Amino acid sequence: MSNKKYYFGIDIGGTTIKAGIFDEQGILDKKEEFPTRKEEGGSKILGDIVDFVKKKQEEYDNKIIGIGIGVPGSVTQDGVVNKCVNLGWGVINVKEELSKLTGLEVCVGNDANMAALGEYAKANEGEESYSSALFITLGTGVGGGIIVDGKPLIGANGAAAEIGHLPIVWDESENCNCGKKGCLEQVASATGVVRTANRLLNASDEPSLLRKQDYISAKTVFDAAKEGDMIALQAVKRVTHFLGLGLACACGVVDPQIIIIGGGMSKAGEFLRVEIEKEYKENVFHPSRKTPVVLAKLGNDAGMYGAAQLIINS
Amino acid sequence: MSNKKYYFGIDIGGTTIKAGIFDEQGILDKKEEFPTRKEEGGSKILGDIVDFVKKKQEEYDNKIIGIGIGVPGSVTQDGVVNKCVNLGWGVINVKEELSKLTGLEVCVGNDANMAALGEYAKANEGEESYSSALFITLGTGVGGGIIVDGKPLIGANGAAAEIGHLPIVWDESENCNCGKKGCLEQVASATGVVRTANRLLNASDEPSLLRKQDYISAKTVFDAAKEGDMIALQAVKRVTHFLGLGLACACGVVDPQIIIIGGGMSKAGEFLRVEIEKEYKENVFHPSRKTPVVLAKLGNDAGMYGAAQLIINS
């Protein structure tokens, strides 16, 4: 058997755990998924991961030498997870516990940072070589991750790249879940897209494809906009305006080499990307105007890939 | 004679060059200033610095082993200065040229980043130990510098920490010098404070101490506000609101351990600091709410100190 070494890249989500086995070049060799057992304060989660690790070590003849892991919450530099509400966790030193239970080296990161690292590594597989990137994820909320010198920027309070809570929506009247008013994610998350469209529908009698829908989702709004529906187009205009503005603010602060747009909403594709890029260019300080704005490529696997990168580069 | 080693910390300004000699601990031993000769495309500037370096090397018995230098323009990672309009320079490899002319190791940085590094080092002389900081300088314009892991964040285009051009002043009607509309520095620079006050004076007949002034400066506006003048207070409220908002955006992106306010306008002191801190706390994402907001300590010497730090830490 070859002397090849392998690494685990594991992404703990609120519903499923995605676990991959990667070679030293970060290429995925095998992937499995199993449910996240959140019962009893999430106390079974690490045990399930340990079982998986042991089973795979047998299969791989003990050639897997480290674990990279992403969790949906803030993580200190020492690998301590500080309350994962989604998993029922309190304060847990995941790095120490998992290392003790498996005998392997462990690196832990926040899930958005891991997704950023995964997409950053993927972008680096192309012709260009990047050492920095800004990743924004458009889903139920708006999150992000920033890579500087090849590493995720964590921040003093684990709150770097919290792009969804940039206070830039000056005309917002309702409060964000975080308690503030005017956060980017109030407009630019999937939920925000639906809110924006519903407000426009309620404010006029203008005919719209959206009025025929029983249920409006971000996808129905983007689909209607692509068909030229005026209300949907207005909603998309407002969403992409604030997204471009938020990215212009973030890039005025870190000036990355590339901007990557991910999350479920990014499935709206080139239509969405072009609008965001246009608003970004109009609002950003001129030296950063040519920074490429691209769509993410790894979808839901980004966090798993990034977790593997974290341990491989450690 | 002792075996102590020394370093030059040099800050090239548009009017004067500040040059200090620092020991290995970054403590200033001697400081001189000489005019910046901008004639003939600034071609005499490096020669003047070389003359100074040679004179001091004699005095210090050749114990000065490196030069850190700050310039008012963007600088690449290789030490190439890309058009310093203020000095009349085109593209110059300052690192290479100065190293060739003096035989010493040379590090070059942007002046705002150097000032950030200087103030960051100064903050670290206190009881707390920091590895990151956000520095904002309020002068004719608004600039800044960000320190991450003890080093200035430069950015792909040398445009990181361009806080003055964050596009957040949503109700601005005029264009910024940069060509965009709604940049923070349109409101929050010394020039911006005067513009804001003048607009308020023109918009009402309300009596104000400012109406008795022949010439309104940022200082007269802050002085009048401290005396309770209503127009001046409104101007300060608008300025500090957008400053707090801008800092909240920047800290939502990098989440530094400390925020340092410098530049000529920071002479308004505690009055200004308290108002900025209040607006910052109201607008920033909650994990970063307790980040200390402090006044800079080094005044005009910050760039010189930071340049010394750059070479000492190289």
For residue A9, pLDDT over 80 is answered with yes
Q: What is the model's pLDDT at position A176?
A: 93
| B180 has a chain A CB within 8 A of its CB | yes
User: Are residues A253 and B160, on separate chains, in Cβ contact within 8 Å?
Assistant: yes
How high is the mean pLDDT of chain A? 95
Q: How far is A176 from chain B (nearest CA, A)?
A: 11
Who among A156, A250, A285 is closest to B132 (CB)?
A: A156
* pLDDT 10s digits, A131-154: 999 999 999 899 999 999 999 999
Distance of CA B251 to the CA centre of its chain: 17
Beta pairing partners, B93: B80
Backbone torsions φ then ψ of B289, nearest 5 degrees? -70, -25
Q: What is the model's pLDDT at position B1?
A: 54
Residue the block writes with tokens 């260019």: A281
Which range among A71-85, A99-113, B12-26, B112-126 shows the weakest confidence by mean pLDDT? A71-85
Distance CA A307, CA A145 (A): 13
Residue the block writes with tokens 């308004």: B268
| A110 has a chain B CB within 8 A of its CB | no
| B157 has a chain A CB within 8 A of its CB | yes
Q: What is the model's pLDDT at position A14?
A: 86
| pLDDT-based confidence at residue B218 (cuts at 50, 70, 90) | very high
Q: What is the model's pLDDT at position B35?
A: 95
Q: How far is A285 from chain B (nearest CA, A)?
A: 6
Q: Give the β-pairing of B80-84 and B89-93.
A: antiparallel
Which of B159, B238, B287, B278 has its CA nearest to residue A164? Answer: B287
Strand, coil or helix: B40: helix
How high is the mean pLDDT of chain B? 95
Rounded to an integer, the average pLDDT of B296-313 is 96
User: Are residues B167 and A245, on separate chains, in Cβ contact within 8 Å?
Assistant: yes
Distance of CA A271 to the CA centre of its chain: 20
Taking the CB of residue A296, how many other CB atoms lie within 10 A of it? 21
Who among B146, B245, B256 is closest to A167 (CB)?
A: B245
* pLDDT 10s digits, B240-267: 999 999 999 999 999 999 999 999 999 9
| B153 has a chain A CB within 8 A of its CB | yes
* pLDDT 10s digits, A67-88: 999 998 888 878 888 778 788 8
User: Are residues B254 and A74, on separate chains, in Cβ contact within 8 Å?
Assistant: no
Tokens matching residue B112:
């705002």
Q: Please list every residue in chain A whose beta carbon sits closer than 8 Å to the beta carbon of residue B158.
A: 255, 287
Q: What is the model's pLDDT at position B73?
A: 85
Strand order in the sheet with A293-295: A151-152, A142-148, A133-138, A259-262, A293-295
Which of B188, B179, B246 has its CA nearest to residue A283? Answer: B179
* pLDDT 10s digits, A201-219: 999 999 999 999 999 999 9
Cα separations in angstroms, B131 against A291, A308, B109: 28, 27, 19
User: Are residues A158 and B255, on separate chains, in Cβ contact within 8 Å?
Assistant: yes
User: Are residues A163 and B252, on separate chains, in Cβ contact within 8 Å?
Assistant: yes
Q: What percent of chain A has pLDDT over 90?
A: 88
Which of B144, B165, B71 has its CA nearest to residue A287? Answer: B165
Residue-wise burial string across A40-57, b where 16 or more C-beta atoms lie within 10 A, e elsewhere: eebeebbebbbebbeebb
User: Are residues B179 and A286, on separate chains, in Cβ contact within 8 Å?
Assistant: yes
Give the helix ranges, DSSP H, for chain B: 39-42, 45-59, 94-102, 111-123, 185-188, 190-203, 218-226, 230-254, 270-283, 302-312
Sequence-separated (6 or more) residues with CB below 8 Å from residue A291:
A251, A255, A256, A257, A258, A259, A280, A284, B156, B157
- Tell me, what's the ipTM? 0.93
Rounded to an integer, the average pLDDT of A271-292 is 97
Q: What percent of chain B has pLDDT over 90?
A: 88
First to last CA, chain B: 26
Rounded to an integer, the average pLDDT of B7-14 is 95
Taking the whole predicted model, whether its pTM rises above 0.90 is answered as yes
Taking the CB of residue A261, how many other CB atoms lie within 10 A of it? 24
Q: What is the model's pLDDT at position B14?
A: 86
Q: What is the model's pLDDT at position A85?
A: 78
| A153 has a chain B CB within 8 A of its CB | yes
Taking the CB of residue A235, how many other CB atoms lie within 10 A of it? 30
What residue in B sits closest to A135 (Cα-Cα)? B253
Residue-wise burial string across B75-84, b where 16 or more C-beta atoms lie within 10 A, e elsewhere: beeebbbbeb
Rounded to an integer, the average pLDDT of B289-310 is 97
What residue in B sits closest to A133 (Cα-Cα)? B156
| pLDDT-based confidence at residue B88 (cuts at 50, 70, 90) | confident
Are the C-beta atoms of A193 and A265 separated by less than 8 Å?
A: yes
Q: What is the model's pLDDT at position B231?
A: 98
What stretch of H or E contains B128?
none
Distance of CA B100 to the CA centre of its chain: 29
* pLDDT 10s digits, B179-197: 999 999 999 999 999 999 9
User: Are residues B253 and A288, on separate chains, in Cβ contact within 8 Å?
Assistant: no
Q: What is the model's pLDDT at position A1?
A: 54
Which of B252, B272, B253, B248 has its CA nearest to residue B262? Answer: B272
User: Are residues B166 and A252, on separate chains, in Cβ contact within 8 Å?
Assistant: yes
Q: Please list every residue in chain A whose beta carbon sits closer than 8 Å to the beta carbon of residue B150.
A: none
Q: How far is B110 from chain A (nearest CA, A)?
A: 15
Q: What percent of chain A has pLDDT over 70?
A: 100
What stretch of H or E contains B73?
none
Q: What is the dihedral of CA A200, A202, A206, A209, to 10 degrees?
A: 80
Distance CA A137, CA A124 (A): 19
Measured over the CA atoms of residue A282, residue A169, residue B141 and residue B148, the dihedral's sign is negative
Cα separations in angstroms, B93 against A146, A172, B16, B90: 30, 48, 21, 10
* pLDDT 10s digits, B128-156: 999 999 999 999 899 999 999 999 999 99
What is the DSSP secondary-structure string of chain A? -----EEEEEEE-SSEEEEEEEETT--EEEEEEEE---HHHHTTHHHHHHHHHHHHHHHTTT-EEEEEEEESS-B-TTSEEEEEGGGTEEEEEHHHHHHHHH-SEEEEEEHHHHHHHHHHHHHTTSSS--S-EEEEEESSSEEEEEEETTEE---TTS-TT-GGG-B--TT--SBPTTS-BSBTHHHHSHHHHHHHHHHHHHH-----GGGG-SS--HHHHHHHHHTT-HHHHHHHHHHHHHHHHHHHHHHHHH--S-EEEESGGGGGTHHHHHHHHHHHHHHS-GGGTT--EEE-SSGGGHHHHHHHHHHHT-
Q: What is the model's pLDDT at position B3?
A: 83
- The residue count for chain A: 314
User: Are residues B249 and A168, on separate chains, in Cβ contact within 8 Å?
Assistant: yes
Tokens matching residue A251:
């890039």
Q: What is the model's pLDDT at position B84?
A: 80
| A283 has a chain B CB within 8 A of its CB | yes
User: Are residues B155 and A256, on separate chains, in Cβ contact within 8 Å?
Assistant: yes
Residue-wise burial string across B5-26, b where 16 or more C-beta atoms lie within 10 A, e elsewhere: ebbbbbbbbeeebbbbbbeeeb
Q: Which of A163, A166, A282 to mutate to test the interface with B (most CBs of B within 10 A)?
A: A166
